[in-house]
Amino acid sequence: MSNLSLEEIRKRFELSKEFNEIFDAFEEAIRLRIDDMEVYKLLFWNPTLTPDELGLFGEKLAKEFPELAYDTFMWLADIFEVTYSVYDNHVRSLEYFQKAAAVREDEATPYLAAANCYEPDLNIPPVNVLLEFLKKGANSVRSPRLIYERLIELYEYAGNDEMTEFYRRKLHGGSGASAQNFSEQ
């Protein structure tokens, strides 16, 4: 069992290029019950870690410290969006935005951030997946106005005039017909 100081844990998270050293530091941080997100941000930005390794650390951190789960998932989503989007077409980023939304369903940020990942020329991530995620968010958040705006944009990209108009009416306060009355083409 190692007895690393907080400073040594920070150093390893930030500078180590050896997975085993990083893993040992992470295990020590968990054992010491370090629940400072700033410490783990150093870990998540370590460029030597693979996406799978980042996911492993993030999932374990969220499990050990449920109060950090939302921030952990949002942080990972941002990292995958910025760093790995070229390789996985925002798949992991969207996955972590969804996990963050599951932790705080009434928070609009994960839904809006996921919509910002959309590349219309490449349809990445797939617009239908984003639409479903945003519709779920529109039903969960306290104030869905910004989500309605993003749904309108995405339905315009998808060429679905009926759903575009449906969300325009919702945005401007008219309920109109139920969304289930419209076909999703």
Provide the pLDDT for residue 136: 96
Spatial distance between the Cα atoms of 19 and 43, rounded to a whole number of angstroms? 11
What are the boundaries of each domain within the chain? 50-181
Which tokens in the block code for residue 93?
């980023």
Could you report the per-residue pLDDT of 44-83, keeping only the tens digit for each?
999 999 999 999 999 999 999 999 999 999 999 999 988 8
107 confidence band (pLDDT: 50, 70, 90): very high
Provide the pLDDT for residue 1: 53
Q: Is 174 helix (H, G, I), strand (E, B) or coil?
A: coil
Angle, helix 19-31 to helix 37-44, in steps of 10 degrees? 170
The architecture of the domain spanning 50-181 is Alpha Horseshoe (1.25)
Could you report the per-residue pLDDT of 154-163, keeping only the tens digit for each?
999 999 999 9
